[in-house]
Amino acid sequence: MPGRNFLFVPGPTNVPERILRAMDRAMEDHRSSAFPELSTAVFRDVKQAFKTTTGQPFIFPATGTGGWEAALVNTLSPGDRLLAPRYGQFSHLWIDLAQRHGLRVDIIDVEWGEGAPAERIEEILRGDTQHEIKGVLIVHNETATGVTSDVGAVRRALDAAQHPALLYVDGVSSIGSIDFRMDEWNVDLAITGSQKGLMLPPGLGLVCASPKALAAREHAKCPRVFFDFGDMIKANATGYFPYTPSLPLLHGLRESLEIMLAEGLDNIFARHHRLAEGVRAAVRAWGLKLCARAPRWHSDTVSAIMVPEGINGADVIDVAFRRYNLALGAGLGRLAGKLFRIGHLGDLNELMLLGAIAGAEMAMRDVGIKVTAGTGVAAAAEYYRSTAAPLAARAAVPSPDAQQQPGSGKPATPRATVRA
């Protein structure tokens, strides 16, 4: 099909040309004396994406699921007890992973469409006077339902209960796109993946561990080899890895962090919120509802849009892809067929999202959903137009694909060739 595929699933996301160029290089010796120049810069800058000065980042050739596993096995022992609310497919899968490792999980079942219940968590922790619960698992942004939970409120719940449990947070679809504050919220294990807000292809699982979490590994008995923090700590201290890292992705991550720090994290969060508000305006104009049950849970990285009774959301997705070359996210788990999802995170702007909204609108009409042609596009376009920054301010913002001096955030002289 001519033209470019419109990728609007909530991950993997669009990869900027700058990052593609940074990864397009000959292979190199990951044991050379020059390699630490790359790795130390990445370790330094990635801490800013987590908003931490005290946490220690680990970068595994894996995915967010690998990050889940690494966080658990390095800090817990078989039979340890965890507390986990289940409010979407990814919180469900993290619970399943923990159980397969022989961990006991007290599950708080929450209506899908709502977020983590901080009050209930506090109540349970207050009742755990013997401190048998060793950790609390929270999915910050549940992409299956388009729900963002209040991690700060969960931290306040732990503190109010005066409970020493570790706070584990899945930030796979939030870190780099939605405000995440590891140090301020005293998150002990924060997890993300390369293919979401970091704007890279899949293949890196990133974990950031607090000093408290690193101390917990001294007594953790879960088996671990590939995901052992200890092996990483020894090798990373000198700028190397205990096994062959993903070299292209590390170069891409360095470029991604340069792009993000040049834009500024707070600007990135504001951009994602504004773009998401445009999608939500379109959903209202269509007369449809989000899966998220209240505005306080609205996600700024993905909108899960409920389809009317008698319509299969999978049909919307299939028609959008086959007829209009638009990739939308599917309903997962118990929501399969009940919704479709528009991912709006990473490298994107207003016109890109308007294209996705137009394609979704056409596909919905094609499968019999009674939405009025053009209403969603018009509502989103008017929101974007009315909230756009002044032209002079926008002209001052460098393009994400502009060449920059490494680490400086300043445009550099255009280069004719890919850097070595």
User: What pLDDT is stored for residue 419 in this prediction?
Assistant: 29
With a pLDDT cut of 90, the percent of the chain lying above it is: 91
User: What pLDDT is stored for residue 408 in this prediction?
Assistant: 39
Q: What is the rounded average pLDDT of the residues 130-152?
A: 98
Name every residue whose Cβ is closer than 8 Å to that of residue 349 and which is 6 or more positions away in sequence. Answer: 275
pLDDT at 233 > cutoff 50:
yes
- Domain ranges for the chain, please list them: 6-12+264-395, 17-261
pLDDT at 396 > cutoff 70:
no
Return the exposure string of 302-313: e unless at least 16 CB atoms fall within 10 Å of the residue's CB, then b: bbbbbbeeebeb
Write out the E strands in 252-373. Answer: 302-306, 326-330, 339-343
pLDDT at 180 > cutoff 50:
yes
Average pLDDT, the chain: 94
C-alpha dihedral sign at 362, 112, 336, 333? positive
CATH superfamily of this structure's domain 6-12+264-395: Aspartate Aminotransferase, domain 1 (3.90.1150.10)
pLDDT at 412 > cutoff 90:
no
Q: What is the rounded average pLDDT of the residues 100-106?
A: 98
Q: What is the rounded average pLDDT of the residues 236-261?
A: 97
Q: What is the rounded average pLDDT of the residues 335-363?
A: 98
Q: What is the rounded average pLDDT of the residues 65-94?
A: 98
pLDDT at 406 > cutoff 50:
no
Query: Please, which pLDDT band fits residue 126 given cuts at 50, 70 and 90?
Result: very high
User: What pLDDT is stored for residue 395 in this prediction?
Assistant: 56
Angstrom CA distances, 196 to 12, 73, 405, stand at: 6, 24, 24
What is the dotted CATH code of the domain comprising 17-261? 3.40.640.10
Tokens coding 3: 């033209």
Q: What is the rounded average pLDDT of the residues 326-342?
A: 98
pLDDT at 123 > cutoff 90:
yes
User: What pLDDT is stored for residue 394 in this prediction?
Assistant: 59
Segment 28-60, tens digit of pLDDT: 999 999 999 999 999 999 999 999 999 999 999
Q: Which residue has the higher pLDDT, 226 or 417?
A: 226
pLDDT at 330 > cutoff 80:
yes
Query: Please, which pLDDT band fits residue 390 given cuts at 50, 70 and 90?
Result: confident
pLDDT at 418 > cutoff 50:
no
Distance CA 204, CA 59 (A): 7
Query: Please, which pLDDT band fits residue 410 given cuts at 50, 70 and 90?
Result: very low
DSSP 148-174: E--HHHHHHHHHHTT---EEEEE-TTT
pLDDT at 415 > cutoff 90:
no
Instruction: Give the three-state DSSP class for 114.
Output: strand
Which residue do the tokens 């919905």 mark? 364
User: What pLDDT is stored for residue 2 in this prediction?
Assistant: 83
pLDDT at 391 > cutoff 90:
no
User: What pLDDT is stored for residue 411 in this prediction?
Assistant: 39
Query: Please, which pLDDT band fits residue 407 given cuts at 50, 70 and 90?
Result: very low
Q: What is the rounded average pLDDT of the residues 229-244?
A: 98
